[in-house]
Structure 1
Amino acid sequence: MSATRPIPVPTPVSEPFWEGCQRGEFLLQHCRSCDAKQFYPRSVCSACGASDLAWRAASGEGQIVTYTVVRRAIMEAFAERVPYVVAIVRLAEGPQLMSHVIDCDPDTVRIGAAVRLDFERLGEDASLPVFRLA
């Protein structure tokens, strides 16, 4: 029997984000006061402190800022996936996030490479944002 991967636990602040992932949308928070875009979900704008935030879908385009290739899983749930790529991706809208780059030869991944958003289903109740080389 294989180990279960960790599943995100939504909070009241992050719930719209995770619901968007379930629909295949990566939602960013946009500040209505200063027009800043942010990720991860917060209750206030990280740029100006305003609480007037709206959710908007990201384009799904991004670029690898840095990455590492995991060759030894530290959790049993990831053992079947090694080697796999974990990257910091800068979205076209500006915010950055850490995610997996999937379905690629890890030796072909490079800093600056263009990536495209996708989603990985984790059972019925969760989907994680992942990226593929563009």
Structure 2
Amino acid sequence: MNVPPPDGCAGRAAVNVPPPDDVTDGWWDATREHRYTLQTCGSCGHVQHPPRALCTACSDTADLGFVEASGDGVVDTFTVVHRAPGPGVAVPYTIARIRLAEGPIVLSTLDGQDWRIGEPVRVGWRDLDDGRALPVFHR
């Protein structure tokens, strides 16, 4: 699904959103309710993102689930993209590595361009036409 930037949102790139699958269904379902979740392993307690078919700490495949996260984090590093990766992609837009309060580091979009490393962020949502939503972090 190719999603253009919302009207009036200059600087947001069109994105190619992958369809849900057996591994990511739980995460996508939570985004429909604007809940940020992380995958956890019931065997060893490891927390990871993005969702995977096995625990990256203990390799368990049977006891993976999702827990609600705070949605709070800190900008670990970021870049402002000024050159479109393809036709129809609006620039500039900001991509960041966010260190979540729960521990995992995630890649996501930041709202706006004027950011500093170490700045606190909170998750917000960009709704998609199919009911799912994409996380977009903001101040």
Normalising by the residue count of structure 1, what TM-score does the alignment of the two structures yield?
0.85
Q: How many residues align?
A: 127
Gaps of 5+ in 2: 5-13
> What's the counterpart of residue 58 of structure 1?
69
Gaps of 5+ in 1: none
Q: Larger helix proportion, structure 1 or 2?
A: 1
Alignment deviations for residues 73-119 of structure 1 (CA, whole Å, 9 cap, x no partner): 2233422xx222110111111111111101x3x1x301111100011
**Separation in 2, partners of 1:87, 1:71:** 14
SS in 2 for 1:76: coil
Alignment deviations for residues 4-36 of structure 1 (CA, whole Å, 9 cap, x no partner): 642221111111101111110111111112111
Q: How does 1:42-121 map to 2 (within 5 A)?
A: 42-51=52-61, 52-79=63-90, 82-102=91-111, 104=112, 106=113, 108-121=114-127
Contact 1:7 1:122 in 2 (8 A): no
Coordinate RMSD, CA, aligned: 1.8
SS in 2 for 1:78: coil
> What's the counterpart of residue 43 of structure 2?
33
- AA aligned opposite 2:74: Q
**Separation in 1, partners of 2:101, 2:15:** 29
- AA aligned opposite 2:109: H
**Separation in 2, partners of 1:55, 1:18:** 11
Shift of 1:53: 1.6
Contact 1:64 1:112 in 2 (8 A): yes
**Separation in 1, partners of 2:26, 2:83:** 34
Alignment deviations for residues 37-88 of structure 1 (CA, whole Å, 9 cap, x no partner): 1111112211111231221011000111110001122233422xx2221101
SS in 1 for 2:31: helix
| Percent identity of paired positions between Structure 1 and Structure 2 | 39
